[in-house]
Structure 1
Amino acid sequence: MTSQTDSRQEFQEQSRQQLKSLLEEKEFDAAKAMLIPMQPADIADVIEGLPEAMQAIAFRLLLKNEAIEVYEYLQPKVQQALLEDFKHPEVLEIVDQMSPDDRVRLFDELPAKVVRQLFLRLSSTERDATALLLGYAPGTAGRIMTSEFVTLRETLTVSQALEHIRRLANAAETIYTLYVVDDSRHLIGTLSLRNLVTASPDQTIQELMDRDVIFVYTNTDQEEVAQLIQHYDFLAVPVVDTEQRLVGIVTVDDVLDVIEEETTEDIYTAGGVQSVGDDYFQTNLLTVARKRVFWLLILLLTNTGTTAVIRNQEDILEQVVALAFFIPLLIDAGGNVGAQSSTVVIRGLNTNEVRLSKSFGIVGREALAGSLLGIMLGLVVTLWAYFLQRDWGVALSVGTSLVAISILASVAGAGLPFLFKAMKFDPALMSAPFITTAVDVLGVFIYLTVARAILQL
């Protein structure tokens, strides 16, 4: 059964091919008619899949208001390409009518010279809104918030508030949550649109608003904002400055972008790859190699420790050559066990599910899990090793070592992320190479030491 996602992708591919054919045949009226009923996000996906020369043509077919909305959904690379193709007045009109947070996201991707030109040509209102967001550090609530929201005074009646909302609704990014401020714009309460429209017309906002307000500061990390919205199931969260004055809101659609960005960064980091942005697969190969080589060099150097251990124990390997056959098996198994432990701990740290105060309990739990895994895997490997070598001494050496290595890998995998978190390092970035080194070097040492004891060489 085809999933909804697969159906949507199939629809987009069919639409893309149809639009491409219409543009090739210069059937512009038919192409425009085809785009009219589509959602802006779907139109953006279709345009992105067109050859670069056709993207600007397809975009020009859109009505002005629709074009502005579609433009906000396009990838930064396509946005930049369209900027180069448009005449300046058209560019300015699109950029000027974008929401401030989306405009700032675009400016972050553009060359500084282009940003300066566009910024100076914005209307004074939009220039001020953009300058406000650009004044905050990247990765903070201030940088991703929008200034397009509705505020109310507590003295307004419900009927007055509804009339006020009607006047401002089209200019606001969301009206589902309303923010109550005093004369100095201090945030003093919130009110849902549901509660407003179901209240009596003569009731005042003061009677209806919730004074227990959840908010963030302009310098709050964007990942923390995302976690807050996720925890409280908010559609938006207010952003205040150091004096508790309301300066913006962060909406759930921006948070989804943050979650995707942070998850991508964590995945890259866990794999020892520095993020190169959204266009990784279009990035220059030399840049890709430079981003990957750092940790590979570190692993290459640290793994010389494994070579040193084997060289110091070469006498036992010369006497029982079969022992060497199982070194890759033990190292790989230990690495996999360590990776499993580190993955669950790092994810728990990122989602605040686990904290440093619980580190000893969690490491102990993973050590027990490693023991159970080691025993189960050890029994299987012991029998397999005996089947291959017909030597119980070698088989027991391999099985016993795997139990010890599994415990070591679990403790390292669970403990190192906590250690690096306490040292203010990124656990995802630092843990993987050190876990690999610990399992490789100590794993080989444990194996050959156990084999020497069992075989009494």
Structure 2
Amino acid sequence: MLSKERILSLLKSQNYDQLIYEFDEYNTFTIVEEISDLEIDDLIKILVVTPKIISADVFANFDFEVKQEIFESIKKADIEKIFEHLFTDDIVEVLLELSPNRIRFLLDHIDKDTRLAFEELLTYPIDSAGALMTTDYIRLHEDDTFSEALDKVKRQGRIAEIVTDCYVINDQEQLVGTIKLKDLLFGDATDMLIDSMEGSIVSVHVEQDQSDALELMQKYDLLVLPVVNEDEKIIGIITIDDIIDVLEQEVTHDVHSMAGITKVEGSYIDMGILEMAKARIPWLLIIMVTAFFTELVLDHFSMELAVVPVLAAFIPMTMGTSGNAANQATVMVVRSIAVDNLSMKDTAKIFLKETQVSLYLMVIMGIATFIRLLVFPPMIMLDVILSITLSIVISLYIGNVIGGLLPIVALRLKQDPAAMAAPLVTNIMDISSLLVYFICAKLLLGI
């Protein structure tokens, strides 16, 4: 049975063949679970002595902090082996977080061709498709027969991250098609790739944003996405495991933005106290300033409250109902912008839909509010009940419409809808619902 003690024993005795044999008997996650607590030098030794088919998958499943510590600790003699045994995208991910001096030291101790390749990969913007791609993929030529293609798959597949999808190029190294490994395996050996490949290609440009790659893979249900340059030459691929990381980052960003938290890196536990406070304070200050207008409204209608004091008791109910309605609409529209490509051209549709939804909500909430005020204490006059009910119904409609349209306004201003709309909508509704509340009171109660 694989255990930490057994692994250390095999490393100490330098019985690497037996170590590889035993690793072959277990899946990657079991191996990582057993070795994750080992000393960094032992982890480096494992990555050096095991073949790429094992070491690359093991390294890919380490926590990022462990990956970074490995690259900070590699000794000169092991650098080239480590670079040979890992996938390029995993290496680039770590290099981007190292100091320039450490990157230079590492690249100076690998062969020239590999160094030039990594230097080019490091020039791509950190949020681009180029920074996410791996160059470990299978390339075939359009003039290959199935037999020749399978020979190439056997040779290239030893270092490729994905072998199920193969990419077909022409003499100019431009991507002209794709073919599945299963089609090569079950096709006739003399068939030509140019006659059998899939010529309709979905690809992403190397400098496009990673979110564009995510959108394409979601839209076309892809497990692998080829990356091309301005000449349509394939220079890498993005795999599903990497795009899931991007999806996680996008979701985390949206959740933080809708809570009024600026961009943060790392996990909650690992984040510094000062860094966490700095991420929260900007929108708290903005909301505090905008709350000043709520105070102005209350101060302006202080005489009305003095005449009918019972009105004060139902202000929280009015503000809470309209604020929640606005938040619901905002969340649904922000989500649709991200998932369904909702845009500014859909403004009229959003307005119409929120109006229609509001009609149902206004009827239900109007009846519920009237019954609640009529039956439950405190007992109040019928005209006050009608005033409060009317204000809630009107505020509900305003909340739905503003909540639905505010993300579109953010798009028009070229701002992040989640970051701008969600934190502001509650304060906007506090002010507008108070105005509606007191205007209804003045009109119906004659105060």
**Shift in Å at residue 194 of structure 1?**
2.0
What is aligned with 1:151? 139
- Do residues 215 (structure 1) and 203 (structure 2) align? yes
Matched to 2:434, the amino acid is V
Match of 1:455 in 2: 445
2:256 maps to which residue? 268
> Following TM superposition, by how much is the alpha carbon of 1:195 offset from its aligned partner in structure 2, in angstroms?
1.9
Q: Which moved more, 1:29-38 or 1:112-121?
A: 29-38
Note if 1:431 corresponds to 2:415.
Answer: no
For residues 226 and 207 of structure 2, the distance between their equivalents in structure 1, rounded to whole angstroms, comes to 13
Please report how far the alpha carbon of residue 87 of structure 1 lies from its aligned counterpart in structure 2 after TM superposition: 4.4
Q: Please say if residues 72 and 102 of structure 2, whose CA atoms lie closer than 8 Å, have aligned partners that are also in contact.
A: no
Residue 227 of structure 1 is matched in structure 2 by 215
> Which of 127-136 and 180-189 deviates more?
127-136
- Answer yes or no: is 1:59 the counterpart of 2:43: yes
CA distance in 2 between counterparts of 1:27 and 1:169 reads 28
Which residue of structure 2 lines up, in the alignment, with residue 167 of structure 1? 155
State which of 190, 193, 203 in structure 1 corresponds to 2:178.
190
Change in CA separation of 1:403 and 1:37 when aligned onto 2, cut-off 3 Å: farther
**Matching residue of 1:7:** none
Partner amino acid for 2:431? V
2:106 matched to 1:122?
Answer: no
Matched, 1:253 2:244: no
Residues 55-107 of structure 1, C-alpha deviation per residue, up to 9 Å, x if partnerless?
A: 53773684633444322222222223344555454466434532111111112
Structure 1 letter corresponding to 2:149: A
Partner of 1:3: none
Q: CA 1:319–1:304 in 2, change beyond 3 Å: closer, same or farther?
A: same
SS of 2:401's partner is helix
Equivalent runs, 1:28-107 vs 2, <5 Å:
28-29=8-9, 37-44=25-32, 56=40, 59=43, 62=46, 64-65=49-50, 66-84=54-72, 87-90=75-78, 93-107=81-95
Q: Following TM superposition, by how much is the alpha carbon of 1:353 offset from its aligned partner in structure 2, in angstroms?
A: 4.1
Quote the Cα distance in structure 2 between the aligned partners of 1:378 and 1:116.
69
Cα deviation for residue 241 of structure 1 reads 0.8
Q: 1:298-329 CA distances to partner (integer Å, 9 max, x unpaired)?
A: 01001110000000000011111121122122
* Secondary structure, counterpart of 1:388 in structure 2: coil
- 1:391-443 per-residue CA deviation (whole Å, 9 max, x = no partner) reads 12332222211111111111111101111112211111110233122101111
Q: Deviations over 1:13-39 (max 9, x none)?
A: xx9xx97xx77xx99449989987543
Contact 2:142 2:194 in 1 (8 A): yes
Amino acid at match of 1:357: K
Give the paired residue count: 433
User: What per-residue deviation string (whole Å, max 9, x for no partner) do you get for residues 138-196 of structure 1?
Assistant: 22211111111111112111111111111111111112221111122111222222222
Contact 2:333 2:404 in 1 (8 A): yes
SS in 1 for 2:176: strand
Preserved contact between residue 383 and residue 395 of structure 1 (Cα < 8 Å): no
Q: What's 2:369 paired with?
A: 381
1:442 aligns with 2:432: yes
Match of 1:286 in 2: 274
Q: Give the gaps of 5 or more residues in structure 2.
A: 12-18
Q: Secondary structure at the match of 1:127?
A: helix
- 1:128 CA displacement: 2.6
Identity value in percent: 27
TM-score normalized with structure 1 length: 0.87
Cα distance, 1:86–1:127 mapped onto 2, change above 3 Å:
closer
In structure 1, the gaps of 5 or more residues are 1-14
- Identify which of 331, 335, 340 aligns with 1:343: 331
The letter for the 1-side match of 2:324 is: N
Give 2:354's match in structure 1, choosing from 360, 366, 388: 366
Match in the other structure for 1:323: 311
The one-letter code matched in structure 1 to 2:428 is A
Change in 2 beyond 3 A, CA 1:383/1:83: same
Three-state SS of the structure 1 residue aligned to 2:435 is: helix
With over 3 angstroms needed to count, the CA separation of the structure-2 counterparts of 1:272 and 1:55, relative to structure 1, is farther
Cα separation, partners in 2 of 1:102 and 1:209, compared to 1, 3 Å: same
Q: Give the equivalent residue in structure 1 for 2:379.
A: 390
Match of 1:4 in 2: none
- Name the aligned partner's letter for residue 333 of structure 2: V
Does the Cα contact within 8 Å between 1:55 and 1:82 map onto a contact in 2? no
- 1:359/1:418 contact within 8 Å kept: yes
1:334 corresponding residue in structure 2: 322
Kindly indicate whether the alpha-carbon contact (under 8 Å) linking 1:421 and 1:427 is maintained by their aligned counterparts in 2: yes
CA contact (8 A) 1:405 1:443 kept: yes
SS in 1 for 2:171: coil
Q: Residue 201 of structure 1: CA displacement?
A: 0.9
Question: Secondary structure at 2:157's aligned position in 1?
Answer: helix
Distance 1:240 1:116 in 2: 27
SS of 1:280 mapped into structure 2: coil
Q: Which amino acid aligns with 2:234?
A: L
Residues 27 and 251 (structure 1), Cα distance of their counterparts in 2 relative to 1, 3 Å cut? closer
